[in-house]
């Protein structure tokens, strides 16, 4: 069955790139509503922004969506990953600014909040997108593809010059609470050499060593070090799940990314929907639904990380 959260929950923090404070509230929604953002700081015009792949603006550093009136919300990937990873299909997300709070740089605070409220079933079957043919996107920097599969799975490969990251790869079946246990607490990361350049360009103004993993060669500069030895590739998979959720329904198939970022994953979704023979919508029975992200999540499996929940 489709789901929503049982009651509203709010999060407070600053935007990673803007450095501005923001309050984000996830509210329950009805079946077939999907995921929408609402800018509560804007009083005139269309303030509703769909969490959908065709509303995405291309950006190398985050995922930003914009409606036809020009109203935008950025850095949505972590909250979207949390909703997908907890199996939430319908929600209204209210936000009082243009950028989602970064919190600790991962999805864990959002996951803990969602799980603390609980997930409620709705009287409608889950509609999923089944991949029927391989679809891929290649750029000079990386590539991504979706291929047919029995459930929802993901593999990712990264290669960075900094020894603290280096070459990492991971493959996961995304059912049975995998996102919550394996990925949700992995933080965004960057190279120390890039920090000054980003800030000079007006980016990462809200970034600190507390909400990102900063590396310099073979050193991890963030206090406490890494949460996982392969935290970087885990975070790339977290981002990919959030970006894939903008398809508007869970995907049945295997996603593979090689040095892929937000723009590549969004281009992949656009390529899928541009080819009607490559996919079909299916109504999931209980057996199919059990193989989707969010299936089998238990509250006790959420990593014990301090949350910014209000």
Strand 56-57 to 189-191 pairing: unpaired
Checking if the pLDDT of 260 tops 90, the result is yes
What number is the average pLDDT over the span 4-9?
Answer: 97
Q: What are the residue boundaries of the structural domains of the chain, listed by start?
A: 3-301
Q: How far apart are CA 216 and CA 23, in angstroms?
A: 32
Span 86-103, pLDDT tens digits: 999 999 999 999 999 999
pLDDT of residue 308: 42
Tell which wins on pLDDT, 205 or 183. 183
pLDDT of residue 204: 67
Q: What is the percent of the chain with per-residue pLDDT over 90, rounded to a whole number?
A: 79
Tell which wins on pLDDT, 34 or 17. 34
Checking if the pLDDT of 309 tops 70, the result is no
- Catalytic site residue from 17, 89, 235, 262: 262
Structure tokens at 94: 């209210």
pLDDT of residue 19: 87
Are the beta carbons of 194 and 212 closer than 8 angstroms? no
Placement of tokens 């120390």 in the chain: 192
Helix (H, G, I), strand (E, B) or coil at 22: strand
pLDDT of residue 79: 98
pLDDT of residue 307: 38
pLDDT of residue 191: 83
Helix (H, G, I), strand (E, B) or coil at 258: strand
Question: What is the average pLDDT score of the chain?
Answer: 92
Report the alpha-carbon angle 198-192-64, nearest 5.
40
CATH of domain 3-301: 3.30.1700.10
Q: Maximum distance among all alpha carbons in the chain?
A: 52
What number is the average pLDDT over the span 143-160?
Answer: 96
Among 67-71, 140-144, 193-197, name the one with the lowest average pLDDT: 193-197
pLDDT of residue 168: 97
Q: Which residues contact 243 (CB under 8 A, 6 or more apart)?
A: 63, 77, 80, 262, 265, 266, 269
Active site residue 262: yes
What number is the average pLDDT over the span 256-263?
Answer: 96
Q: How far apart are CA 7 and CA 191, in angstroms?
A: 39
Checking if the pLDDT of 30 tops 90, the result is yes
Helices and strands, number each (H, E), in the chain: 7, 20
Span 108-124, pLDDT tens digits: 999 999 999 999 999 99
Q: What is the percent of the chain with per-residue pLDDT over 70, rounded to a whole number?
A: 97
């Amino acid at each position: 069955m489709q789901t929503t959260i049982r009651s509203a929950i709010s999060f407070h923090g600053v935007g990673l790139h803007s450095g501005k404070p923001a309050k984000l509230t996830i509210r329950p929604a009805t079946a077939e509503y999907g995921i929408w953002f609402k800018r509560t700081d804007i009083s005139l015009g269309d303030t509703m922004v769909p969490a959908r792949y065709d509303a995405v603006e291309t950006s190398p550093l985050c995922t930003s969506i914009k409606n036809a009136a020009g109203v935008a919300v950025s850095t949505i990937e972590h909250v979207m990953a949390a909703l997908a990873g907890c199996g939430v299909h319908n929600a209204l997300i209210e936000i009082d600014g243009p950028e989602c709070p970064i919190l600790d740089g991962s999805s864990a605070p959002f996951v803990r909040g969602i799980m603390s409220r609980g997930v409620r079933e709705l009287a409608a079957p889950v509609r999923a997108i089944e991949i029927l043919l391989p679809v891929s996107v290649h750029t000079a920097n990386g590539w991504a593809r979706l291929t047919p599969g029995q459930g929802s799975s993901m593999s990712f490969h990264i290669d960075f010059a900094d020894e603290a990251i280096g070459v990492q790869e991971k493959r996961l079946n995304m059912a049975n609470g995998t996102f919550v246990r394996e990925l949700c607490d992995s933080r965004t990361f960057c190279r120390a050499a890039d920090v000054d350049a980003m800030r000079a360009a007006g980016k990462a103004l809200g970034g600190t060593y507390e909400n990102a993993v900063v590396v310099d060669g073979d050193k991890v500069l963030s206090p406490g070090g890494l949460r996982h030895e392969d935290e970087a590739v885990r975070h790339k998979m977290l981002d990919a799940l959030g970006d894939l959720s903008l398809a508007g329904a869970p995907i049945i198939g295997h996603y593979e990314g090689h040095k892929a970022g937000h723009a590549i994953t969004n281009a992949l979704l656009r390529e899928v929907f541009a080819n009607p023979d490559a996919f079909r919508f299916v109504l999931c029975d209980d057996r199919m639904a059990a193989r989707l992200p969010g299936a089998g999540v238990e509250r006790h499996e959420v990593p014990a990380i301090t949350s910014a929940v209000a």
